Amino acid sequence: MSKVGIVCDIDGVILLDGKQIQGAEESLKRLIQHNIPTIFVTNGGGEIESERAERISRLFNIPVEPTQVILAHTPFQSLSGKYANSRILLLGRNKEKNKRIMSQYVHTTYSHQIVTDLTTIFL
């Protein structure tokens, strides 16, 4: 068991504008080779953890599990049961992506409204 683990930011550390940063792939492969646990974090969203894990795997030719990925909305998973019958304000640019992401976290009986324009709420 490793005495150290790595929390690796995605944007600006291993990727820049969707492209590998020089040396990132080799570094990630060395972490795997030395059995150093690694998780990937970002304040971004727009996709679910399994999709981001697949993208990182494909871009860097390494295995990445969804449980190794923490996105901006990932913490909501642990709260979805508690707030299953509550109204939740989700802010985002793409209504369809927001709906798809939220459908991964909430029960099918949950009724939610996606708001993409705050002026409709506050004005």
62-75: pLDDT as tens digits = 999 999 999 988 88
Q: How far is CA 97 from CA 2, 4, 102, in A?
A: 37, 35, 9
Whole-number pLDDT of residue 93: 72
- Are 6 and 53 part of one and the same domain? yes
- pLDDT bin (cut points 50, 70, 90) of residue 111 is very low
Which of residues 111 and 46 earns the better pLDDT score? 46
* pLDDT at 73 (0 to 100): 85
- Structurally, the chain folds into a number of domains equal to 2
What residue numbers bound the domain in which 12 lies? 1-72
Q: Do 6 and 64 fall into the same domain? A: yes
pTM of the predicted model as reported, rounded to 2 decimal places = 0.79
